[in-house]
Amino acid sequence: MGETTQAEAPPPPPPTPLELLGQAVAALPGVKGTSIHVEELTAHADRDSLIALMTTLRDDPRFAFEQVMDICGVDWPEREERFDVVYNLLSVSNNQRLRVIVTTDDVKPVPSVHGIWPVATWWEREAWDLYGIIFSGQPDLRRILTDYGFEGHPLRKDFPLTGYVEVRYDEDRKQVVYEPVKLTQDFRTFDFLSPWEAMTTLPGDEKVAVPRRAAQKG
């Protein structure tokens, strides 16, 4: 009897360009891990190694991330380091994108990358203004979206939705004034009827309204 041979399994497909990029990024110092989700590459990095990592991502021709398109914060109040700082990078030369994430709290500073990408100043100011994330080495850490006298950071998840103060123009004083938020509501009674059931006077609805009134009286 002749020898029976089993069908050989097909070789695994070669890695995609995005997977190759992920492998190269994962090998860089300061990168704690990478993941690909919905064709988007994300790298989680060590906060203290951020400057060296970002410099490599910009200058190494394998990556060539010439632009930082956005820097933003994400608040996770239940975590010890409650904030994610997210950097969205773009390589025009290689037509590829990368998201880099570091974590911090409202005390530990994140190294500023404005020396690598000068436009980062705008994004870091916004993250400071809205979340209270501190960026060390940032020479212009001022509020950018809220007023200079604003109290707190409005995109923190524990910030009250109404804010602490409200702003209005005082006609008597001829100036803008800040006052504590006052929520007032007149006493009202609600019958909780559906608007379709309550509307009985529309033209053409007489045949429906009459038996309904009779049923209500009964």
Q: What is the pLDDT of residues 33-86, one digit of tens each?
A: 999 999 999 999 999 999 999 999 999 999 999 999 999 999 999 999 999 999
Whole-model pTM: value is 0.75
Is the residue at 98 inside a domain?
yes
Is the residue at 69 inside a domain?
yes
Is the residue at 180 inside a domain?
no
Tell me: pLDDT of 117 over 90.
yes
Is the residue at 41 inside a domain?
yes
| % of the chain at pLDDT higher than 90 | 63
Per-residue confidence at 9, pLDDT binned at 50, 70, 90?
confident
CATH code of 58's domain:
3.30.460.80
Is the residue at 47 inside a domain?
yes
Region 182-202 average pLDDT: 62
- Contacts for 119-123: CB closer than 8 Å, 24+ residues apart: 119/68, 120/68, 120/71, 123/68, 123/70, 123/71, 123/72
Is the residue at 189 inside a domain?
no
The closest alpha carbon to 102, from 84, 77, 116, 119, belongs to 84
Number of domains in the chain: 1
pLDDT tens digits, 75-103: 999 999 999 999 999 999 999 999 999 99
Is the residue at 11 inside a domain?
no
